[in-house]
A and B are shown apart, each in its own frame.
Chain A
């Protein structure tokens, strides 16, 4: 029988969680390797920089639409295919917009990790 020691294969995060659970109560936060720390700091900064515009767009869309509808009550009289336009603006319009926003943000976030 080979003498290879059984070693658990796990991500650093999982190992952190495991090492912590054995020391319930007081424990020391494990340190990051310098190369990992650099990589993490770079990811953190880039993701923060790219995340902000996505968040602004999301909040602008969501909080802007009600304001626009309140400012333009005439949209309820205007009809498209006999349906009031203002109804379409809340029942249909936000969803494709949000799907596109999610797709765009996903691409950008993954791009950071790929390089």
Chain B
């Protein structure tokens, strides 16, 4: 119940901070990009807060428990994306003056069709990413406080949409920046406490992995999904009320939500298609994706998808538009690398401790609850309860912050690009899209959150990444080429993943390239863009449109108005000038 209070207080704080953002808001720009007045440090905290979703807070540790140490490549790719962003995208993107990614596409290539297509891609990525966030909110709240699944989903949806509809991007910025600090604290302190309290034996076991073959103590397993167990020797388990359940050697089907208690010393049944934690495969620092062999290919596929995907995530790019100028956007990217690096030093600790203390979660298919399950294993008193509550609060902060950013990107795509309207329509769109996502999430409790999120990353990597990089650095890109490339990337990446989900079973390298198609869909999209562009002719203004993205803002207000007039524009960067303008406007309004 304490954990329930922790989640409730995080929601409450979100709403309260959100109210601080309800300042003067008159235009779409105020709503979508916080009037572009966010300093690099605040912005990078907000970017990190938005980026550290449930996948980072709970998911990576769970993957380490399930798939082995190689899963730690995911966070490496997540952080590396911001270096690519820093080099290639951040400053020119901000200098485009766009409010959303589709807006940028139209500003660079003057094609309303491309803008609509880009908006649809934003909706696809946003949907794939948002549904798992709300779903995890429902599941985690259910696990810690026993509420039904829909309560968590609806609560998260309501908190996020009210904050956004009232305060827009400004509210989202404060909330996300605050939640980054909260998450950092709530992740690092319990990790250190766990390491200190767990004792020398557990610490030593953690770095000397042994295969999980026998239960070391009486263990209760609640199957979260339908699982087929392969029992190697006859054993007797017990149901929740102590009834003996004999399991003969062979395969047994376990329905979701069933509870079995395994006695101490019983051999651990195998789960079909998953290798038990702690084996020689587990400690190898490469990722054996989908059990297909080829660990090197699997690892490289993950790195490419996460790194390039980060560069194309619409809600992350949108945060860069809140910077006052291109230089601040670039700084934001650089600081974000450092902030994320601090956080990502810790998921591995939860993962290796989880393998020692809660290996049975792999049987239950509930490895992503490993982080919140750990404290009570180490301390059954008030400390364990307290740290479970803290970690739950952090997890809730994780999906609230991510949902805020995604929801504003989705609403921007609908109410600014697809069916342009004013501020009122944006606010209504926020509420409406949140409602749609809540309904979708209510029916997707059984979906694999990790799969949906990595699908979103792959779509971003194969559509927006090539579009942004070529749009910013290659003057010959044409609208036709961009449309063809985005379509090719979208269809190829979605098709490949749909094949994994619904198609015939594949194995070997084909399985890897279908489940993580980024290594071939990204080159396909780039190649399509280049070839189609080369067949056409870029318009006469193409070079000017591209160069405009590389023109740095005038940062020398001391030169005086004459110099500024010579450059043909006046800069908003000077606080002195802004004050003058405010004074004039006030005088006019009197």
Contacts and interface: CB of A to CB of B under 8 A. Distances in A.
Interface of A: 1-2, 4, 6, 9-17, 20, 24-25, 27-29, 31-33, 35-37, 39-41, 43-44, 47-48, 51, 54-55, 58, 62-63, 66-67, 69-70, 73, 75-76, 79, 82-84, 86-87, 89-92, 94-96, 98-99, 101-103, 105-106, 109-110, 113
A58 B285 CA distance: 19
A67 B300 CA distance: 9
A40 B551 contact: yes
Given A9-B581, A51-B88, 12 more contacts: A4-B584, A14-B572, A17-B97, A36-B551, A37-B547, A58-B80, A75-B285, A87-B348, A102-B82, A102-B334, A102-B337, A109-B91
A73 B280 CA distance: 11
B588 interface: yes
Contacts of A27: 110
Contact of A54 (B77, B83, B344): B83
A29 B545 contact: yes
A47 B69 contact: no
B72 A91 contact: yes
Contacts of A87: 69, 72, 207, 283, 285, 348
Nearest to B206: A83
Contacts of B566: 35
Interface stretch (B221-229, B324-332, B438-446): B324-332
Given A35-B567, A58-B83, A6 B584 contact: yes
A43 B550 contact: yes
Kindly list the 3 A-B residue pairs having the minimum CB-CB distance in the complex, ordered from nearest: A13-B97, A95-B341, A29-B541
Contacts of B330: 106, 109-110
B76 interface: yes
Contact of B569 (A6, A12, A76, A110): A12
Contacts of A4: 584
Contacts of A94: 76, 79-80
Contacts of B569: 11-12, 15
Contact of B550 (A44, A58, A84, A105): A44
Contacts of A41: 547, 550
Interface string B143-169: 000000000000000000000000000
Contacts of A32: 544, 547-548, 551
Contact of A106 (B72, B86, B97, B568): B86
A98 B550 contact: no
Contact of B303 (A51, A62, A69, A102): A62
A16 B286 CA distance: 48
Nearest to B94: A13
B551 A105 contact: no
Contacts of B76: 62, 90, 94-95
B553 A66 contact: no
Nearest to B85: A102
A17 B541 contact: no
B365 interface: no
B571 to A, nearest CB: 6
A24 B99 CA distance: 15
Given A32-B548, A66-B300, A48 B97 contact: no
Contact of B87 (A63, A75, A105): A105
B521 interface: no
Contacts of B112: 24-25
Interface string B525-561: 0000000000000010100111110111100000000
A59 to B, nearest CB: 9
Contact of A9 (B204, B342, B570): B570
Contacts of A29: 110, 539, 541, 544-545
Contact of B307 (A11, A62, A89): A62
Nearest to A93: B76
Contacts of B96: 13, 17
Contacts of A40: 547-548, 550-551
B204 A106 contact: no
A99 to B, nearest CB: 5
Given A9-B581, A20-B107, A113 B327 contact: yes
